[in-house]
Amino acid sequence: MTATKIAIVGVGKIARDQHIPSITRNGAFELSATVSRHSGVDGVENFATIEELLAGRPDVGAVALCMPPQARFDAAWTAIKAGRHVLLEKPPGATVAEVEALIAAARDEGVALFATWHSRYAASVPAAKAWLAKRQVQSARITWKEDVRRWHPGQEWIWQPGGLGVFDPGINALSILTEILPQPVRVTAAELQFPDGRDAPIAAQLQFAGASGETVSADFDWRQTGPQTWNIEIETNDGQLKLSSGGAEMTIDGKVMMQEADSEYDGIYARFAQLVAETSIDVDLAPLVHVADAFMLGRRIVVDAFEM
């Protein structure tokens, strides 16, 4: 099978740390071009704009969009209309409506569209989903706390409108939650802490409720130094399930059931290869809808200024 030539648009930290290694390991793709005004990849042709890429490289059949979400819609729309398959880094867009427009465009043009949620490809997530499917969820608690300076060094876009702030990592937890819960939940209340002078929150506390009486709380914070915390604890009628390390480890009633190294982006590109082969669309908006609802319902609290 001939590998699909793919281009990365936005050669930043996430592209270098995750996308490029996973593309290199996946025989279904060949990294053939990049789009970046500031950097590129040695030995790979670079273009200043996606328009120049699409005009100059008709052989590139797919693009992985790794730029900040505020700029992603225009690039995705342009690529789709040029007949290219599109992979969207998370979150898939700055608004729900623009992602819905991309779904319609991809359907009209007959190309694959993939809104990635990399945390869903953590090792223990499928096993957690299967375990919960046979039980009644009573409550869940999400604790997702990390150091923004470590994971987003110098990236001011995250504090701008559409950058999501602490929901940039928090949406990873929500992508796992919406994948593994047997029944959906809805946001019922939220408190969002905005640093003085910033347009996106640095911390958030959310409450959710489900139709069967289950409750979920989420505590997101970007100010944690030292060890990072990515945990989801779920109480059921038949024991407690805990996902830790972002879904890499699963315990049942305190007993470790699974513990595996990170392979999330390898899973993403395996899925994208399948979608390209089938010319299919895989876009789940549930995590982004929860974030949008949190902004709609959230009580805004101004906290001390924060500098990167």
Which residue among 5, 90, 129, 255 is the active-site one? 90
Q: Is 90 a known active-site residue?
A: yes
Q: Are 165 and 200 in contact (CB under 8 A)?
A: yes
* Integer Cα distance of 157 and 162 in angstroms: 8
How many other CB atoms are found less than 10 A from the CB of residue 146? 23
- The structure tokens 């409720």 sit at 209
Q: Around 262, how many Cα atoms within 13 Å sit in the side-chain half-sphere?
A: 10
Tell me the residue type at 123: A
Q: Are 250 and 234 in contact (CB under 8 A)?
A: no
Tokens of 307: 């500098």
Q: Are 92 and 287 in contact (CB under 8 A)?
A: no
Give φ, ψ of 57 to 5 degrees: -130, 75
Q: Are 6 and 62 in contact (CB under 8 A)?
A: yes
**What residues act catalytically?**
90
